[in-house]
A and B are shown apart, each in its own frame.
Chain A
């Protein structure tokens, strides 16, 4: 089945000349565009609800800024690691690829652990989504972001593990897939930077 499909669809691996993209890279950019619309709608909701509110908590006192800042550093670093992993793969250094991929995954898990600590602190103080609109927005936005992180971790583990068998079939194909995972990972990273600024600092 794989073979026949492979013959039917061109530009799976090599880029088409007039668009300069292979299919999956085009698709991931479109997917990220739709993700921007998803997060954009929630950001707009935040603006509308905050502008229309009678009272709003001082966010930087309400949320744990040091943990949030540390988490930003962790996520940006993991984003850097995935580039290193991709370039190692392009240099055909599979060991190095695996090392940086696992570093990416580890940092992402550390991020989630810190996020969990923050959530636990809120719950200990009886601060739930239903407590106020600000907390509802905070839990919705960071929760949705955390789901994206979890998705990214699963994809990255797949490519460092069973997914890397593709390398035996076609090296370039595998490099492309890691590139796409990297693009997604950068996007999740950028969303967090906006979330951190908006929810913790503003």
Chain B
């Protein structure tokens, strides 16, 4: 017998672990941190928007004289916060939560596998992601601060920006490598490691969502990698991929060889950028479907249509990217094509949401916390989707482009939409991950104020956008007279955002408190669910299942006739 070094075994078990569940939790904690960090960035910006030019009380001095002299925010600092808010929320917050955390934790469990197909590659993905996030944070300590070019990094501006942009490109490069590895891992896992009997039509919708998400990540991210190479060469080797001839910078002709095209970046970026929207949404739809099926105690209506929809959506999402670039003068024929495909891609999402709504019909609904978040997700996400239609049609997009309407639209999709689904997922799978329940009272204290504040934050943005308030004005629009009759909303939005931050405190207390002191669950299947992750011990050990798993039926066999209980797990032969 050899004596094991306790430090070594701790590192092996919790830090450099190749167990998919540990990696999922690592992803979860890291990206929840980034979610909070990105939220703090926007709360600082909201002060400047509500009270432009006034010194920030209490916290104004900690950002230094270079950023906020006398507590008053400089425009450059505002731009940096905005760019990093977008980057961090999308690439380090929401995507790794949906795909990295929930995907890693649940996909092998739900298909009855003992681990991912490539456990050590999985660990590598996480650590590359971690380094990328670290680089992004590090850029705040550069002499010139982080990048201030917006999360889309459009050239020519980005080509001439200070060093923060180079760090951003390296960070993005690592994020792309990391998601490439995880997407390969997830696809191979789903195809190769399904338990006996787990045919594709018996896969839970969550797994379908993860599968399509993985394909989108696999095929949509590499073009941005190519674009990032080109921008890096523009910045470091003096090439002109994105710099046209005769470009003026600061009133002088720029000393570059020219011949490039700034639109090239926009097309490559949005070729990633639009599938990325579905990378954000599909895991959320998967989570909500699981929770709604479980808490209505019935099969999901139109489950087959949902599966076909999500596959169709995956394909079409690759040919809609140019609805982000209607204003670049790319020509009416191309515009006509992309607005047609954009209208088409909205159909499958509507089918999925409608199927979930119909599922509620006639169900005996349990209004527990995960279900509350899932129920709030449906209308909020639907609202976000519907407000997107005017942006998909060129005629209405032209006046709305780059206004607060756009901000309102996609935040409705992501914040009360996807983030609510993520909260729902945390409350739902917390008992499986830790063996303890989260507190109900604190959960309600988290849910209701957050729901109200979300709407007070994002609905006025639609109103402001329709008045023509531009999205990137660091003074909130004070210098434009025609915006003055809607600017009072800025104060209301800011206060709602800060109150919403306070409403997250119960969640944080609940999350960490319940790990230590939460009420213990006395069953491996506390929600009486049918899918395979509940057939494991709580919390699942390395290797997940204690006995071989065979699957006998589809994922949502609730309230079957002739069954003694109202749920029939996939792995139990008798109903």
Contacts and interface: CB of A to CB of B under 8 A. Distances in A.
B121 to A, nearest CB: 8
B180 A23 contact: no
Given A30-B188, A136-B240, A37 B219 contact: yes
Contacts of B267: 48
Nearest to B180: A34
A30 B118 CA distance: 14
Contacts of B188: 23, 26-27, 30
Nearest to B243: A133
Given A9-B115, A27-B117, A136 B227 contact: no
A41 B222 contact: yes
A16 B189 CA distance: 12
A5 B271 CA distance: 37
Q: Which DSSP category, helix, strand, loop or mixed, fits chain B's interface?
A: helix
Q: How large is the interface on B (under 10, 10 to 19, 20 to 34, 35 or more residues)?
A: 35 or more
Contacts, number: 129
Interface residues of A, number: 40
A52 B117 CA distance: 45
B429 interface: no
A133 B259 contact: yes
Interface in A28-57: 30-31, 33-35, 37-42, 45, 48-49, 52-54
B184 A31 contact: yes
Interface stretch (A76-84, A89-97, A124-132, A177-185): A124-132
A35 B180 CA distance: 10
Contacts of A41: 222-223, 225-227, 268, 271
B198 to A, nearest CB: 11
B257 A133 contact: yes
Contacts of A5: 18, 115, 119-120
Contacts of A38: 222-223, 225-226
Contacts of A39: 226
B257 A49 contact: no
Interface string A11-32: 1000010010101001100110
A8 B543 contact: yes
Interface stretch (B230-238, B466-474, B500-508, B530-538): B230-238
Nearest to B115: A8
A130 B184 contact: no
Interface string A128-156: 11111100110010001000000000000
Given A8-B543, A37-B219, A42-B226, A49 B259 contact: yes
A10 interface: yes
A9 B257 contact: no
A40 B223 contact: yes
A129 B239 contact: yes
B430 to A, nearest CB: 25
Contacts of B191: 16, 19, 26
Contacts of A40: 222-223
B239 A130 contact: yes
B237 A130 contact: yes
B187 interface: yes
B218 interface: yes
B368 interface: no
A131 to B, nearest CB: 6
A10 B112 CA distance: 12
B259 A30 contact: no
Given A8-B115, A11-B193, A136 B18 contact: no
A130 B240 contact: yes
Contacts of B219: 33-34, 37
A114 B129 CA distance: 37
B142 interface: no
Contacts of A4: 542-543
Given A30-B184, A34-B219, A129-B233, A45 B115 contact: no
A16 B191 CA distance: 9
Interface in B526-575: 542-543
Given A37-B220, A136-B239, 18 more contacts: A4-B543, A9-B193, A10-B192, A10-B193, A16-B192, A23-B192, A26-B188, A26-B192, A27-B117, A31-B180, A34-B222, A35-B222, A37-B222, A41-B222, A45-B226, A130-B256, A133-B241, A133-B259
